[in-house]
Structure 1
Amino acid sequence: MKKISLLTFASILFCVSCSKDDTPTPQQEPFADFNSQLCNNVTGIPALYWDYANAQPVPLTEIPTIANPGQQFIHSAYPQLGFTLPVGYTATEISSNNPPIVGVNVTRNDNQVLWQYVPLVSLQGQIPINDIVGSQVNSMFGFYNFNGNFNVLCTATRTMEQSGLQFTFGARLIEFGSFTGLVWVNTVYVPSINSMQVSVSISSAPTAQFNEEVFNLYLPISFQLLVIDDGVRDSDLDGTPDNQDNFPFDPNRQ
């Protein structure tokens, strides 16, 4: 396996628990026949995760949690990016000042499963959404040393303008070799200063294990990031958590 590259703007990786048994768990069973609201080519857990990645409501009856919790990861420059890893996974911080990048790579120890998540990349100019999605797909292929044929199961591209900003979303669900991967990209373009904010994510695993990875790690970490403890929240990014900062929104005072 190759180490995943940062490409033009960055990357991260993450993944799930490592059972090789693809028998549905009780948590997965209710969604075995789930139909996507957006893509007719997939059903079941991949359809559920596709809709979730596309910000569609999904009928989860409980919050997904890590079944086998291990180490805690907290990004040194951006404490909001913090979560508990399952045992058997490693997190590597991604950080850069030029261009500004914040992210994390989480890989399973056998390098068969990965999650990529970069919540913040700041760029000058405007880059077409399909170029960014394509670079992330190539990054995913490179991690597995894959250069063969692939099948795009689902695709999405949406753009809206609001308050002088241009919001664009792009995503692909792809089968390649014996793996399945979901890539999504969000961009916000500010024409007045010719600047773009980008967030990207990759979730990939052996196809036979993809369903399990969704519920063991992809969704649990995603839900962890929705709830931030004030002990690690740092709203002004001055290095002092909000609960210890007398001026939590002023980086020049603590």
Structure 2
Amino acid sequence: MKTINRILLFTLITLLCSCSKDDDNNDQQNLQQFNSQICNGLAGPQAVYWDSAHNLPTGLAQIPTIANPGQQFIHSQYPALGFTMPQGYSAQEITDLQTGTIGVNVFRNDNNVIWRYIPSSPFVGQIQINDVIAFELNQVMAFHGFNATPEVICTSNQQSTEFGFLTTSGARLIRFGNFTALLTVQTHFMPSLGNTFISVTLASGPTADYDNLVMNTYLPLHWQLLVISDDVRDSDLDGTPDNQDPAPFNPNIN
């Protein structure tokens, strides 16, 4: 099933074949100058995040990693859903044994930052993607105490038919109050079963800090869900991938 992690995997692997610590300054400069190819006026890390979610090239020159590793999370029913969070974050497991829904909500300890990931949630019947988008956005705005109309910065919808089932993708980048949220949803309707399988990725946080959250929290969390190789493995959890770390098993040397 295609989910946001596969989109990020394809996009970033093609761009990050060769990385070094000497790229730090160039990477930061490129990110600030990056403009979205599909959302007019969107620039910087938010543009990188939006375009990478749509399988488009970005200005990244390095693999995003957790710079301040904290707690680890492993889903009790699906161990492949596991990752290290930054310090000051905690995870809430999502499990519904009756429907087969699995996922996780990650919260910063001040409850101002959320990263929500649901790789699979089955529903009976054909579910409209706009209904899922509305539910997720209303839920996150309510969590942050906002009950008015948000400002929609970017929006996209795509549809395709593969292997006999209908796949619909939708994304929204919104601002509300002092917060920004990026939501990506995919629905896969299988007529033979009469079921819709839904995947969701949501990242919300203070607008003033959203660029930093993209690079230091959201993208590093996504990357840990992808294929683990020396490009992304961080054995000593010091924030530097093993193939860039002169002492990959010593957290005091990076």
Q: TM-score, normalised by structure 2?
A: 0.78
Moved more, 52-61 or 214-223: 52-61
Q: What residue in structure 1 maps to residue 132 of structure 2?
A: 132
User: Alignment partner of 2:192: what SS?
Assistant: helix
Structure 2: distance between partners of 1:29 and 1:148 = 36
Bigger helix fraction: 2
User: Alignment partner of 1:32: what SS?
Assistant: helix
Task: List per-residue Cα deviations over 1:136-171 (Å, max 9, x = no partner).
Answer: 000110110111232100000000002211111001
Asked whether the equivalents of residues 41 and 154 of structure 1 are also in contact (C-alpha less than 8 Å), the reply is no
Task: List per-residue Cα deviations over 1:166-223 (Å, max 9, x = no partner).
Answer: 1110010001011110011011110111111110011011100000000111111111
Q: What residue in structure 2 maps to residue 59 of structure 1?
A: 59
User: Does 1:207 find its partner at 2:210?
Assistant: no
Q: TM-score, normalised by structure 1?
A: 0.78
Q: What residue in structure 2 maps to residue 47 of structure 1?
A: 47
Structure 2: distance between partners of 1:71 and 1:144 = 24
User: Does 1:84 find its partner at 2:84?
Assistant: yes
Task: List per-residue Cα deviations over 1:63-104 (Å, max 9, x = no partner).
Answer: 110000011111010111100011100011110022221001
- Structure 1 runs (4+) deviating above 4 angstroms are none
Tell me which amino acid in the other structure corresponds to 2:176. Answer: F
User: Alignment partner of 1:107: what SS?
Assistant: strand
Tell me which amino acid in the other structure corresponds to 1:122. Answer: P
Moved more, 118-127 or 54-63: 54-63
Q: What residue in structure 2 maps to residue 100 of structure 1?
A: 100
User: Does 1:183 find its partner at 2:183?
Assistant: yes
User: Does 1:216 find its partner at 2:216?
Assistant: yes
> Bigger relative contact order, structure 1 or 2, given CA contacts below 8 A and separation 6+?
1
User: Alignment partner of 1:111: what SS?
Assistant: coil
Q: What residue in structure 2 maps to residue 239 of structure 1?
A: none
Shift of residue 35, structure 1, vs aligned partner: 1.1
Task: List per-residue Cα deviations over 1:106-142 (Å, max 9, x = no partner).
Answer: 0000011111111110111111111101100001101
User: Alignment partner of 1:226: what SS?
Assistant: coil
Tell me which amino acid in the other structure corresponds to 1:197. Answer: F
Shift of residue 59, structure 1, vs aligned partner: 3.0
Tell me which amino acid in the other structure corresponds to 1:188. Answer: H
Aligned length: 205
Structure 1: distance between partners of 2:174 and 2:148 = 13
Structure 1: distance between partners of 2:75 and 2:28 = 31
Q: What residue in structure 2 maps to residue 172 of structure 1?
A: 172
Q: What residue in structure 2 maps to residue 151 of structure 1?
A: 151
Q: Which runs of 5+ in 2 are unaligned?
A: 1-23, 230-254
Structure 1: distance between partners of 2:113 and 2:28 = 19
Say what the alpha-carbon RMSD is for the aligned residues. Answer: 1.4
Tell me which amino acid in the other structure corresponds to 1:88. Answer: G
